[in-house]
Amino acid sequence: NMGGNAGIRGYLIQTIICVLDALDSDNQWSKVTLEPLDESEKVDIKWVYPDRVKVCQVKSSQNIIRLTDAKKWSHELITNSPNIEEYELIVVGHPEEKLLKSDTINNVTISKVQSLDIGNLIDIASTKIDAYYEKTGRQIWLEVDGGVNAQNIAEIAQAGADTFVAG
């Protein structure tokens, strides 16, 4: 398991990718959950659509990301989350040439994000949030489910959450 700064960076990248995907004009999702408690630990993002469910795993590294690793992660995602209609593996960083040429592995869509620059990803996400709101008028609600208590709810609200699940 990642810890410290690497863990925080990985979680932040997952969050930014989730926001960017959620604002994609083709997405008709009804609910998006980051680190869903009702799925395996392999699932980082769960998308619920009217007609299907999609689960995603995000892998980021400053090192080269190998095709053999992507094959292993894809297999684990399917094995640990059966009965899901759609799977996606998102690799962030430096995928090797063989991985760059792969669009799917065992029915898992492979998405490649080249940048590990958090500041750049945040700028892109912020711009997409503004454009999404202007285009649709639909507000984005941020729900925090788990770990909410009397000691930290004010801090969580200050960070931007507006819906909380406690207990």
109-116 contacts: CB < 8 A, separation 24 or more? 110/70, 110/74, 113/17, 116/13, 116/60, 116/62, 116/92
State residue 1's pLDDT score: 46
> Per-residue b/e over 3-40, b at no fewer than 16 CB within 10 Å?
eeeeeebbbebbbbbbbbbbbeeeeeeeebbbbbeebe
Is there a contact between 71 and 56 (Cβ–Cβ < 8 Å)?
A: no
Residue type, 138: R
Q: Which residues of the chain have pLDDT under 70?
A: 1-14, 18, 22-27, 113-116, 118, 122, 139-140, 145-146, 159-160, 167
Is there a contact between 16 and 115 (Cβ–Cβ < 8 Å)?
A: no
State residue 81's pLDDT score: 93
Coil/strand/helix, residue 160: coil
State residue 10's pLDDT score: 64
pTM: 0.70
State residue 135's pLDDT score: 79
Structure tokens at 51: 């007609």
